[in-house]
A and B are shown apart, each in its own frame.
Chain A
């Protein structure tokens, strides 16, 4: 199943990059710099989506006392942190030529930075508690409390007067431009989705092996019993 998602990710990324760089036209306001959108926006979407999915798995693990759910939450956190970092850094690379600054403490940027700290806090908290079941519960609480931040990020451009633009302003003048840009962006988002699933499945397999290495079922795995 993992190779299948990995291949899907590669194919979507290839088509997405082709659409984004070869077909999508130059933006009438921002020139070619806007092409950062094809990695910035999908990364920012993923940073929020992964957090929601992670918090949902963590909640499920907490309510049902299910180990596998907690492990899924744990497997998603590093990938979410990476996409958050990428959203912030690519945003910085976009902000410098367009706004004239690498960073500004506006609501969108600040709440996204808080999201990064939530991911890092979740990872640090889980790894600092030796008993995995206690670590799961503590991590789940943090993930759930932090979930209020996600709608704040999403609506920050509406609620506050931010330097960060709303989601459609940078789109071009002609409707045709909007379509190819949007398709490129959606393809890249799909690629990141598939990538996330592949990587999270890889990581949850590692976590299971590490945690349950002394249990009988691990010993009977085809890759382990030789």
Chain B
């Protein structure tokens, strides 16, 4: 079922390597960045809420 003769053929994507891998790479990058940014935001929000809760 595999479509590829070798790994290098797979990475070469029939000569369209740049366009295919740029598309998938950018997608992964964007989604990883979003999750990372949200984790940071979540930690900061929780920290602030804790500080406020302790004040009283």
Contact = CB atoms under 8 A, between A and B. Distances in A.
Contacts of B39: 202
A195 B14 contact: no
Contact of B31 (A40, A97, A195, A214): A195
Contact of B22 (A78, A93, A221, A225): A93
A128 to B, nearest CB: 19
Interface string B14-36: 11100110111011001100110
Contact of A218 (B23, B26, B49): B49
Contact of B48 (A93, A199, A213, A223): A213
Chain B interface extent, by class: 20 to 34
Nearest to B30: A82
A224 B50 contact: yes
A26 B45 contact: no
Contacts of A123: none
Nearest to B10: A21
Contacts of B23: 36, 39-40, 89-90, 93-94
Nearest to A17: B24
25 contacts: A21-B3, A22-B2, A22-B3, A23-B3, A26-B3, A31-B16, A32-B13, A35-B20, A82-B31, A89-B23, A90-B23, A93-B22, A93-B23, A94-B23, A97-B19, A203-B41, A205-B42, A206-B41, A206-B42, A210-B45, A219-B49, A219-B53, A224-B46, A224-B50, A225-B53
Interface of A: 21-26, 31-33, 35-36, 39-40, 43, 78-79, 82, 85-86, 89-90, 93-94, 96-97, 195, 199, 202-203, 205-206, 209-210, 213-214, 218-219, 221, 223-226
